[in-house]
Every structure is written in structure tokens, then in C-alpha cells.
Structure 1
Amino acid sequence: MMMMMMMSGNSSNASQLAWTPPSFTPAAQARVAATMILFVFAALSNLALFISVCRGRRLASHLRPLVLSLAAADLLMTFVVMPLDVVWNVTVQWLAGDGVCKIMCFLKLFAMQTSAFVLVVISVDRHQAILRPLDSLNAHRRNRRMLVTAWSLSALIASPQLFIFRTVRAESEDFTQCVTHGSFQERWQETAYNMFHFVTLYVIPLLVMSCCYTCILIEINRQLHKSQAGETLRRSGTDMIPKARMKTLKMTVIIVVSFVVCWTPYYLLGIWYWFQPEMLTVTPEAIHHLLFVFGNLNTCCDPVIYGLYTPSFRADLARCCRTHTHTHSPRSLDHRLSARHETAPHKPT
């Protein structure tokens, strides 16, 4: 989280505030334009996903809260992280006051943390579904507890943002920034804080998800060998594992892979900065902006992946598009006007 503040031109270094305030460079302008495009797509697609899952009946009851939480986390990223990033890059400095500085920095980290933890919950659910299929009756209660824990833990981890961020005014220029300057006595303390969030945002979720899917692959391989040796009966005519469960497994694997692919480059760049701040003079500014936009792309990937594996979601979108087209088509308008004219009372002559 702190990495994003510093590497997006919002440095917490006092000397940078005093001598080299950031500006709205062409690279930052491109970042804003790209983020606005992603915002529109992510907002529409995740809202459509959220509504479709709420109204749909084809999704298993224990899976519906997971997909709803994933969509909610992506919407939180969309409506908090993206607009904040756009406005902050345009204004360059912080203009909203100290209270909003603290709240927005908390919400930004909270949104990112929930997005990662919900993926962990989904991975654990798939692990239990494949390795312990007989526990499916308790899946709804288990998932609900895990989701409550994920959202609560995200809020707890993000809460220090309310205390360490503040508005700081530069001494030599009329420039105010929302930073952590003065919250840490030594640089290593700030580095340790950044590394803690890197571990909770990326390392721990990646390890848990990798462990879950590795165990799943081992179990599938074991069942495959047993099936080939004729030691076990298949669950349905030709499948060791029900097709619906395998389809959901493939979908969640791709969702996790998209999270790793989109955010790994930016987190690695952040680690480089924390231990070698001079890297800012080595790497082009455009690289920093590009990798952050690429990370935000993950918010757009989840509804697309879900749509590829869920015919009901695609049907809902198609139905919505047909309704919208029919409502706004000239022929439909003429038909409504004609019907209204036919049903209207005639005046006596």
C-alpha cells in the first residue's frame, strides 16, 4: 500500500516535498486516461456480475456468497482505488484535508486486502470441495465464517492507515501532500511496515492459494491413477469428479492466476524501491505508471473469467442487451406510440 503512495508520485520523503514536488507529467496523464477506461469497464462488468448472481438460481447456494464477495471486493477496488488514483494524479498534491486523507488511505488498503483475502477463501473452498466432498453440507456455514473473517481481518490490517497518514505541507513551496512523514522515527521502521503489507497482500495469499491448488492437483492425479487401475468407482459415468465441480475449479484457478500475473510485476518493483530508493532515477517513470495500471486490470478480469465459465451470466447480459436495444429502437418506439394512440380516449366531435 505504501509502495503505491510513493511510486505514484506521492512520496513520503520530506526533502522531495520541499525541493522536487511531483507534476502532472505526460506519463501520469496516460495513466489517468487508462485508469478511467478501466474504471468504466470494471464498474459495468462487476455490477452486472453482482446483479446476475443475486438474481440467479443456477449457482450453488454455498458458492453464491463467494462470488458476491469477489464482485463486492472488485467494486470496492473500482469505486475507491481507481477514482482516488485518478484525482490524486491530476491534482498532484492532496487538497481534501487531513481527515479525508486518513479515511481514503484506509479504504484503499482495505479494498486491496479484501480482494486478496476473498481469493484465499475461494481457494480454500475449492480445496475442501475436491478433497472432502462429503463435507459439502457444511460448506455454506464454513464459507460464511471464512468471509466474515476475511473482511474483518482486512479492516484490522488496514486500520493503522488511519493513524500513520496525515497531510504535510512543504516548507519552501505551497504544496500539501497526504503522506506518512513523521510517523516513523527510522527508515527501517517504514520499510518493515511496507514489507508487512506486502506479505499480507501478496505473499500469504499466494502461499495459501498455491498450497490449496497443489493439493487439489495431487488429489486429482491420485484419483486418476486409481481410476485407471480399476481400484475405485467413478462418481458419474465417465468422470471421477462431477463436471460442474471441475468447471468451477478451472474458473477459480484462472481467477487466481490473473491476480498473480497482474500484480506480481508491481509488487516486485515496490520491493526494489523499498531497499534501493535510488531506483527511481534508473527506471523510467512510465514503467511505474504502466505496472500500476496493469495491476488494476485484475479488477476487470474476474467478471470476464466468470462469464466465460457461466452460461447463465452470459444469458443475463444478452437478455439485458436485447431489452435495451428493443426499448431504444425506432421500431419499438413507433409501436409504443401507436399503441398509446389506439388506447387513448377519443374526443367527441
Structure 2
Amino acid sequence: HIYVFKLSSVGGCSLALPPPNSSQFPPLSDWEAPSFTRAAQFRVGATALLFLFAATSNLALLVSVWCGRGRRLASHLRPLILSLAAADLIMTFVAMPLDAAWNVTVQWYAGDALCKLLCFLKLFAMHASAFILVVISLDRQHAILHPLDALNAHQRNRRMLLLAWSLSLLLASPQLFIFRAIRAETADFIQCATHGSFSRRWQETVYNMFHFITLYVVPLLVMSCCYSRILLHIHLQHRRNTGESYLRRSGTDIIPKARMKTLKMTLVIVLSFVVCWTPYYLLGVWYWFHPAVLHATPEYVHHFLFVFGNLNTCCDPVIYGFYTPSFRADLAACCHRGRGARRDVATPSTDRQGPHSRDHEAEHATNNQEGD
């Protein structure tokens, strides 16, 4: 048997076993185990930096919205931001360390159970992140098109979030059955792979395409539809109220300022998801139908596109902080307390009222209403 490595955007690296005398999988003269190349080293280093930033920023966002000044968010918006931060943290603490360690070790040393579990959690986090963005888009569409129906927004968003998390669990569950730890017969090499789960290559291609559609195509279509309807609604409102055929920059004469600010924030978050993940998914689709592209494109391109996709987990808290004064005030207060504590250690006689007075000023610097 001849084992061939291939790239999979759904589950990481997997081992494929070409059937004997198959024209689709021509036999190879020899097989060389993969190594920890220079491109892979770059990927590990970049992933480590992204991990540190994403973990710190998303944890800060979670704390701010859960128990800090972010509690001022409208009650139907808080669960959306908390869920988005939670999904990003799952990606951060599961997908990033898994990818980095897997590239360093090259083969799989964690056993069969962790092979199944970690591949499941990785796909679960990717689905959850995409579906929560869909929920946020649907919420913004309803808030703009039906502004008088705000009383039902909290319960509606809770139901949509429950559906998003449940669908993520359901769609990721096949990973528990198709991935397993496989030992190569011709070499002392073990890999977490899908070998043996698909009898034909087209079956695995269909499986990957299904997840490409649920992870990217469907969320992109829904989000595009939502924001297209929102922009069309604003445009028509302007024409109706002002008789002009163009959109003003702010739109605050049609939509309250806080709601417009939240709309802009969510739109930028969605755009960051599209920009970060589109190149990686397109490369995956290209590979599934033309496997030779894996050897035709430089190795560093594959690694760079995956790292660029993971950049999305860092973008969400940055975008939220840019549009939300309460988050910036929480970060400023935390930094002031840290500097005050260091000064207290260095000079115990320092006046301890300084940091607290600055926290009080930061408190008054935030807006009373963060969003609608």
C-alpha cells in the first residue's frame, strides 16, 4: 500500500490510501514521510503570535461584556457578542494549538480518542463562528426593517443562538466517526486521518464540499441578503424622506445613532470573516477537484492562507473595541490598575487614589447606550 499526504481544509492533514491498480490514484515509486519544513516553521511561529493575541483580546472581550462596562449593551445584543467571543476562543484554544503542534510533530502522537475529539472540536468551532455571524446579521436586519418589534428581540436571538450551536454540534459530529489514528504499514509513521472512511475519492469530495457549503457558501449568502436588504431599506427611506437618490454618510436622520453604529460594527465583522477565509476555502475547492494543485503551488502559499484565515479570530475583538467605548474603557482601567499596582510595589507610600480616580474618569468617558 502507498500512503499519500494531502491537504484538507476541514480536518487538517489526512492520509489517503490509493486502491491497488487504480487509475485515479497512480502508484508511486516510493513514499517519503513529510518533514517540518521552513514554511511549516513560519506557520507555527505565526500561529503562536496569533494565539497570544486572540486569546488575550477575546478573553478581555468576554470579561468586559459579561461583568464589565459591556453589560450596558442592549439585552438582545449581549448574548450575540458573548457567543461570538466564545466561538473565537474555541478556535483559539483548540484549532491553533492543534495546528501548531501537529506541524511540529508532523505525525500524530495523541492517540485515537484525541484524534476524533480534536478534529470534531475544530470543525465545531468553525461552524459556530460562521453561524453566529449569520444570527448577528439576521438580528441587525430585523432591528432595521422592524424597529418597533424590539421587545421580542431577546427571545428571538436566544432561539437562533440555540439553533446555531445545535447545528454546529450536529454538522461536526461526523468527524468523530471518519477520523482515526492510522499507522502506515511501510514506515513507522502514525497519522490522524480519514483513511478507510471513504471507499471512493468522490465520496470524500462530496463530504468536503458539503462542509464548504455549510461553512462558507450558505452563511455568505444569508449575510449578503441581510445587509443588502438593510442597505436597500436605508436607501428607500432616504428617497422617501428627502427626495434624494443617494445615501448620506451617517444615516442618523433615518436610523438612531446607536443602532447605526452597531450596524456598521457588525457589517465590518462580517466583511473580516469573508476577507480572511475566502482565499483558503477557494484553495480547498481547487484542490478537491484538481489534487495536482497541491504540488503545483508553493508550500508556503498553503501555510500563509491558513494563517490568514485564523487572523479572523483576532479581528472580531479589535473591531468591537473600535466601535465600543465601554470595551476601550475596561482595557484602559485594567492597564491603569496594572501600572498602579507596579508603582505600589515599587513605592509603598504612593497615593492609592490615583488609579481609582482614573477608573472613575474612564467610567464617565463611556457612552450610556452602547447599541440597540
TM-score, scaled relative to structure 1: 0.91
Equivalence for 2:325: 311
Describe how 1:193-212 pairs up with structure 2 within 5 A: 193-212=207-226
Equivalence for 1:132: 146
The partner residue of 1:39 within 41, 51, 55 is 51
1:147–1:201 CA distance, 2 compared to 1 (3 A): same
| SS at structure 2 position matched to 1:11 | strand
Higher helix content, 1 or 2: 1
Equivalence for 2:347: 334
- Please report how far the alpha carbon of residue 238 of structure 1 lies from its aligned counterpart in structure 2 after TM superposition: 6.1
- Please report how far the alpha carbon of residue 338 of structure 1 lies from its aligned counterpart in structure 2 after TM superposition: 11
Q: Does 1:60 align with 2:44?
A: no
Unaligned segments of structure 2, at least 5 residues: 1-6, 19-27, 245-250, 353-372
Q: Does 1:14 align with 2:30?
A: no
CA distance in 2 between counterparts of 1:310 and 1:238 reads: 18
The partner residue of 1:261 within 275, 290, 296 is 275
CA distance in 2 between counterparts of 1:20 and 1:186 reads: 24
Q: Which AA in structure 2 matches 1:39?
A: F
CA contact (8 A) 1:5 1:11 kept: no
| SS at structure 1 position matched to 2:191 | strand
1:334–1:84 CA distance, 2 compared to 1 (3 A): same
Unaligned segments of structure 1, at least 5 residues: 231-236, 340-349
Identical counterparts, % of pairs: 68
Following TM superposition, the consecutive aligned residue runs of length 4 or more in structure 1 with deviations greater than 6 angstroms are none
- Please report how far the alpha carbon of residue 227 of structure 1 lies from its aligned counterpart in structure 2 after TM superposition: 1.1
Equivalence for 1:280: 294
CA contact (8 A) 1:35 1:82 kept: yes
- Please report how far the alpha carbon of residue 73 of structure 1 lies from its aligned counterpart in structure 2 after TM superposition: 0.5
Describe how 1:1-349 pairs up with structure 2 within 5 A: 3-4=8-9, 10-14=13-17, 19-55=31-67, 56=69, 57-229=71-243, 239-329=253-343, 333-335=346-348
CA distance in 1 between counterparts of 2:149 and 2:32 reads: 59
TM-score, scaled relative to structure 2: 0.85
| SS at structure 1 position matched to 2:348 | helix
| SS at structure 1 position matched to 2:8 | helix
Q: Which AA in structure 2 matches 1:4?
A: S
Q: Which AA in structure 2 matches 1:295?
A: G
Which digits, 9 at most, give the CA deviation of each residue in 1:26-74, with x for residues without a partner? 1000000000000000000000000000123321111000000000000
CA contact (8 A) 1:14 1:170 kept: no
Which digits, 9 at most, give the CA deviation of each residue in 1:220-261, with x for residues without a partner? 00101111049xxxxxx9621100000000000000000000
1:193–1:216 CA distance, 2 compared to 1 (3 A): same
Compare 258-267 and 20-29 and name the one that shifted more: 20-29
| SS at structure 1 position matched to 2:90 | helix
1:334–1:95 CA distance, 2 compared to 1 (3 A): same
- Please report how far the alpha carbon of residue 133 of structure 1 lies from its aligned counterpart in structure 2 after TM superposition: 0.8
CA distance in 1 between counterparts of 2:10 and 2:313 reads: 19
Q: Which AA in structure 2 matches 1:48?
A: A
Alignment coverage as a number of residue pairs: 328
Let me know the Cα RMSD of the aligned residues.
Answer: 1.9
| SS at structure 2 position matched to 1:335 | coil
CA distance in 1 between counterparts of 2:8 and 2:239 reads: 47
Q: Which AA in structure 2 matches 1:335?
A: P
CA contact (8 A) 2:10 2:211 kept: no
CA distance in 1 between counterparts of 2:265 and 2:43 reads: 30
